[in-house]
């Protein structure tokens, strides 16, 4: 069955977010070698693979879904209304049919007919979704999302043992925040500011200025 599309996060400071994440990525990648004792750096390495994979699989399943909708339409039936002034209602769930027509015996035959038609439309959708690869794409997306959620829970519960670990934790939550449908509200600007500060400090430690 069709599902709700993931809503990209709309932010007024997208360029600033990308710049901060890019700087954090460079600092963390430079720190990966020789820091096996920092569990959040190990997690960051896996996150860098898992999160983009989840996003790519989401885009792919959405692309296949749009193609299927364009080809056969959504699985739905139109409920004709007795009142000519009221437009027909499109039902995608059997319960909608009962809500619109009521449960009186007088509408039983019509409701049964519409539910059979809706069942046939759903069966066709499911068959076409399996044939075009949409079903498998959604299954892969769900598995990838579960891994992302698991990494988020681990990151939240794992204490940082170093400056790089703290940067890794903030970078994970900042990148995950792209999925949030809300606007640029707190605590995102605050967290991004802390991440930027830590990245600057880490860069100075990695590349100390020559003694004056």
Q: What is the pTM of this model?
A: 0.76
Task: Quick: pLDDT tens for 94-112.
Answer: 999 999 999 999 999 999 9
117 exposed, middle or buried (CB, 10 Å; 0-12, 13-18, 19+)? middle
Query: For the chain, how are helix, strand and coil distributed in percent, rounded to 5?
Result: 70, 5, 25
Task: Quick: pLDDT tens for 130-170.
Answer: 999 999 999 999 999 999 999 988 988 888 888 888 889 88
Task: Quick: pLDDT tens for 67-89.
Answer: 999 999 999 999 988 777 778 88
Torsions phi, psi of 91, nearest 5?
-110, 130
**Cα–Cα distance measured from residue 73 to residue 89, given in angstroms and rounded to the nearest whole number:** 16
Tokens of 185: 């509200």
């Amino acid at each position: 069955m069709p599902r709700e599309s993931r809503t990209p996060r709309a932010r007024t400071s997208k360029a600033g977010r990308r710049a901060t994440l890019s700087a954090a990525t460079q600092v963390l990648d430079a720190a990966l070698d020789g820091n096996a004792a920092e569990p959040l750096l190990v997690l960051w390495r896996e996150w860098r693979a898992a999160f983009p994979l989840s996003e790519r699989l989401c885009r792919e399943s959405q692309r296949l879904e749009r193609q299927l909708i364009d080809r056969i339409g959504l699985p739905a039936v139109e409920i004709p209304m007795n009142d000519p002034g009221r437009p027909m209602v499109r039902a995608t769930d059997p319960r909608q049919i009962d809500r619109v027509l009521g449960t009186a015996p007088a509408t039983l035959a019509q409701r049964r007919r519409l539910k059979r038609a809706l069942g046939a439309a759903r069966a066709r959708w499911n068959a076409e979704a399996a044939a075009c690869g949409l079903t498998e794409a959604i299954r892969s997306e769900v598995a990838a999302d579960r891994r992302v959620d698991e990494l988020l829970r681990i990151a939240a519960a794992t204490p940082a043992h170093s400056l790089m670990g703290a940067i890794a934790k903030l970078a994970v939550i900042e990148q995950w925040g792209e999925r949030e449908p809300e606007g640029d509200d707190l605590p995102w600007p605050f967290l991004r500011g802390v991440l930027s500060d830590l990245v600057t400090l880490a860069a100075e430690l990695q590349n100390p200025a020559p003694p004056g």
